[in-house]
Amino acid sequence: MQLKDTQDALNAFGKYVVQQSRSKLTQSNKNASKRLYESLGYDLKVMPNSFSMAFLMENYGEYQDKGVSGTEVKYNTPYKYTNKMPPPSAFSQWVVRKGLKGTRDASGRFVSRKGLQFAIAKSIFKKGIKPSLFFTKPFEAAFKNLPNDIVEAYGLDVENFLKTTINNKPTR
């Protein structure tokens, strides 16, 4: 038996979650390099007796979605900074993309790009990363409707299977 309608319902679910997640990323200004945006996708496998679906994204996407508690600011998340801050070099390209330039500090000294990267890393270590829920919210919204859509689609698949089986019944 082919599960065409079920597969179509799951594909619609996957496309909706990816599209809405991308929109939320862009709206929340968390799309600086577009790497996370472009990595969003899903993998659907439909077999005769079962199906599996996995959503895909860059590894750091989960931290952007669920957030990370800092040493001073806490969020409701399983992730937290404890004794090791993010590497300042991780913010090198981000600083360039955001157009941030070294400036003078309060005492008139020039703050280099490396100094700026260190300040950003230290700030994230203390304040953490606020949960954006760019993936969680679209997934949960679509998931509420999914059981009804799947039941309906699976019912259509069974109905089509029975019609085909009855119409192709061998004559004696």
Query: pLDDT digits over 86-139, tens only?
Result: 999 988 888 888 888 777 777 878 878 888 899 899 999 999 999 999 999 999
Instruction: Give the residue carrying structure tokens 């399983």.
Output: 78
For residues 146 and 115, state if they share a domain.
no
For residues 1 and 63, state if they share a domain.
yes
Domain count, the chain: 2
pLDDT score recorded for residue 21: 95
How many Å apart are CA 52 and CA 42, to the nearest integer? 10
Give yes or no for residue 172 having a pLDDT over 80: no
pLDDT band for position 66 (cuts 50, 70, 90): very high
For residues 123 and 135, state if they share a domain.
no
Residues 6+ apart with CB under 8 A from 76: 67, 131
For residues 114 and 157, state if they share a domain.
no
For residues 49 and 84, state if they share a domain.
no
pLDDT score recorded for residue 4: 73
Kindly state the percentage of the chain with pLDDT values over 70: 82
pLDDT band for position 155 (cuts 50, 70, 90): low
For residues 80 and 125, state if they share a domain.
yes
